[in-house]
Structure 1
Amino acid sequence: MTDLDEIDLEFTQLGETGLQTSELQFGTWRFGRETAEGNLEIGESRAHDLLDAYEAAGGRYIDTADIYGGGDSERWIGDWLSSRDRERYTIASKIFWQIRDGDPNSRGTNRKTVRNRIDALLERLGTDYVDVLYIHRWDDQTPTYELMKTLNGLVEDGKVHYLGTSTLRPNAWKVARANEIAREQGWEPFTVAQPRYNLVDREIEGDYLEMTREYGIGVCPWSPLGQGFLTGKYDREDGLTGESLAAESPHFADNYLTEAAFDTHDVLDAVADEVDATPAQVALAWQIHHEDVAAPIVGARTVEQLEENLAAATVDLSDEQVERLSEAHDGPYANL
């Protein structure tokens, strides 16, 4: 396994923002998260160990959200940043989900919610601004004009540098409409996107990627390892017998525990053998080599897992291998 001191993550352009991002971004959604059994998945001490490891590998882009760990993710990142030069790190956070029971105005992207939540997350992070603010989901109850005017105000106030959208694959036209409104009014548009995308989940390879190209939006996929499927942790025979289904989400079972998905994994395994890397590293390297991807978001429970994921930056794939991986999954947009 590649040691962390052998990894030196490079910077790459984040769409057409002018901002440089680490070629692998670090996602912190497990920080402070409780499992269904009530166990803490990652506590503060290990969170800081993971941030240290990411930093040691040259990583400078940290992704979080105001609901991760009930705000603990942002607090722990803020504590970690307090002893460092804030300007050397790019911090992204997200807002949308309801945070107070019985209060419908603590959810969504209306002006009241957005202004309140940006101040709260900045306090937790201990910083005056976030580099990227994502809307975590689209809020159909808030007029798009109101949303973009409010977000533009945050940019003008210096609390946010760039605006992003997360998990909006079916709503490419809504992002396009929002950016057209911003263009007409001279406001800040969405310049970063965070959809689900990996070797099996290929649903954005239609109108969504066409939209991001048209508007110069940087694409930073989440779930690049398909909820662990692309790490090789699932066995074809066990996965297809149904024995693994009960513990996973319906999306996972329907999209990953299938013959087509395991056939894709066979190609992934073959390429991994050719380049002497793990399947996870090759799945991430495929995205690093992808012309439409700015940088995938990686997460990990342990430093060892993070080390394996970050070593994907050292994997060199040939054009033929990238093409073979791209054509491995016969999904809905495979022939586009």
Structure 2
Amino acid sequence: MEHRRLGSTGLRVSRLGLGTMTWSRDTDDHEAAEQLRDFVDAGGTLIDTSASYADGGSEQLLGALLGDVVDRDDVLLCTKAGVRRTSAGAAVDASRGALLDSLDASLRRLRTDRVDLWLATPDPRTPLEETVSALRYAVATGRARYVGLSNHAGWQVARVATLLEPEPGLAAVEAEYSLLQRGVEREVLPACEALGAGLLAWSPLGRGVLTGKYRRTIPSDSRAASAHLAGFVQPYLTADASGVVDAVVTAASGLERAPLEVALAWLTGRAGVASAIVGARTAVQLRAALAAEDLELPPEIVSALDEITAPAVGYPEQSGRR
């Protein structure tokens, strides 16, 4: 598997990352172990998790597999903080204390003394300066090697990058990006490219819709049929999305490849994308995604998909483009 520099850092990450959002909830320990083994055998290194996934269950399962299924030093661990569990439910909190407490808990669950990449999620009630102080302290104390943001707006990316200069710097921004969601191209991706941060694309398959599995019905074992994930998929079960899926399926048919391979190849070919995070429920699904590694789309197909899915860009974004 190809490895790429994460922005302007010296860290190199695999072009496909392994997402673990479903681990310990929809993906049991046996399936998770098989996924982890297949991913590393294919040359993958970047594993993405979060303190909020299954209330820490994803990290705990991953930590139990490290050292048993694969060696800790053979992978790069990325986890996220900014949502904490309270008696009233989940609460957004990216304050310094909450972030550092969350990181310490993540390290315990992951059974490691450091993560390779630590990302903060948005909290409109906490000043960015305070969030940055936690990111900087995590690197200074060795808890995290690199730091970044998850799901922030372009202006926030620029502000945090400035606050983190000159050290440790903003290494990465994780954001949703696919043929069904190209909003990051307006400001986030240009900010990342200008400021030296690598983009980690989550849900590169449009929350599973770009696989083509929902073209005629909703499979009973799919995320869209799941009580806790149906709302996650629903926004892309639209007529507009269906047209995009049809285009991907048509391209895939002409290339004699699977639709998900076309969708992944399009995304990993975008400038500024360091890694596409693939979250599979089963090992079989993951192996299908790993099969996209050798696919390079013909320019005419890239151009057609670009045109069909291009996001609307106007004032003021357009005026700042070169």
TM-score (norm 2): 0.88
Residue 103 of structure 1 and its aligned partner are, at CA, apart by 9.1
1:29 CA displacement: 0.3
User: Distance in 1 between the 2:248 and 2:155 partners?
Assistant: 33
1:1-336 equivalences under 5 Å are: 9-33=1-25, 41-83=26-68, 84-102=70-88, 107-135=92-120, 137-168=121-152, 171-183=153-165, 186-235=166-215, 252-254=233-235, 256-333=236-313
Q: Distance between the aligned counterparts of 2:261 and 2:215, measured in 1?
A: 18
Cα separation, partners in 2 of 1:246 and 1:112, compared to 1, 3 Å: closer
CA contact (8 A) 1:200 1:329 kept: yes
Please report the RMSD computed on the Cα atoms of aligned residues, expressed in angstroms: 2.5
Deviation at 1:100, TM superposition (A): 2.6
Q: Secondary structure at the match of 2:193?
A: helix
Question: d(CA) in 1 for partners of 2:247 and 2:139?
Answer: 44
Q: Partner amino acid for 2:124?
A: D
- CA offset digits 1:261-287 (Å, max 9, x no partner): 222222211221222110011101111
Letter in 2 for 1:154: A
Do the aligned partners of 1:245 and 1:253 also contact (CA within 8 Å) in 2?
no
Specify the code of the residue in structure 1 equivalent to 2:298.
S
Return the alpha-carbon distance in structure 2 between the equivalents of residues 250 and 23 of structure 1.
Answer: 28
Equivalent residue letter for 2:200? C
SS in 1 for 2:149: strand
- Quick one: distance in 1 between partners of 2:21 and 2:304? 31
Distance 1:245 1:103 in 2: 24
Matched-pair contact (CA < 8 Å) for 2:171–2:196: yes
> Is the CA contact (8 Å cut-off) linking 1:50 and 1:306 kept in structure 2?
yes
**1: distance between equivalents of 2:161 and 2:226?**
41
Deviations 1:14-54 (A, max 9, x none): 11111111110000000022xxxxxxx11122211211111
Change over 3 Å in CA distance of 1:187–1:150 after alignment to 2 = farther
Residues 288 and 330 of structure 1, relative CA distance in 2, 3 Å threshold: closer
CA distance in 2, matches of 1:48, 1:221: 23
Paired residue type of 2:93: G
Q: Secondary structure at the match of 2:30?
A: helix
TM-score by length of 1: 0.85
CA distance in 2, matches of 1:80, 1:250: 30
Q: Contact conserved, 2:81 with 2:119, CA < 8 A, in 1? A: yes
SS at match of 1:15: coil
> In structure 2, how many angstroms separate the alpha carbons of the residues matched to 1:200 and 1:44?
31
Ranges in structure 2 where 5+ consecutive residues have no aligned partner: 219-223
The number of aligned residues is 309
In structure 2, relative to structure 1, the CA distance for the partners of 1:291 and 1:103 (3 Å cut) is: closer
The 1:187/1:141 distance shift into structure 2, 3 A limit, reads farther
2:149 partner amino acid:
T
With 314-323 and 211-220 compared, the bigger mean Cα shift is at 314-323
Task: For residues 37-82 of structure 1, give each alpha carbon's deviation from its aligned partner in whole angstroms, at most 9, with x where no partner exists.
Answer: xxxx111222112111112212111110012122221122112112
What is the CA distance between 1:246 and its match in structure 2? 11
**What are the ranges of 5 or more consecutive residues in structure 1 without an aligned counterpart?**
1-8, 34-40
Partner SS for 1:99: strand
**Residue in structure 1 matched with residue 221 of structure 2 by the alignment:** none
C-alpha distance 227-77 of structure 1, shift in aligned 2 (>3 A): same
Give, in angstroms, the shift of residue 245 of structure 1.
10
1: CA distance between counterparts of 2:95 and 2:240?
A: 41
2: CA distance, partners of 1:228 / 1:86: 29
Q: Tell me, what secondary structure is at the counterpart of 1:98?
A: strand
Query: Contact between 2:7 and 2:272, CA under 8 Å: does it hold in 1?
Result: no
Question: Is the strand fraction higher in 1 or 2?
Answer: 2
Letter of the aligned partner of 1:179 in structure 2?
A
Tell me, in whole angstroms, the C-alpha distance in 1 between the residues paired with 2:310 and 2:168: 38
Q: Are the structure 2 counterparts of residues 109 and 330 from structure 1 closer, same or farther at C-alpha, using a change threshold of 3 Å?
A: closer
User: Following the alignment from structure 1 to structure 2, what is the Cα–Cα distance between the partners of residues 271 and 53?
Assistant: 27
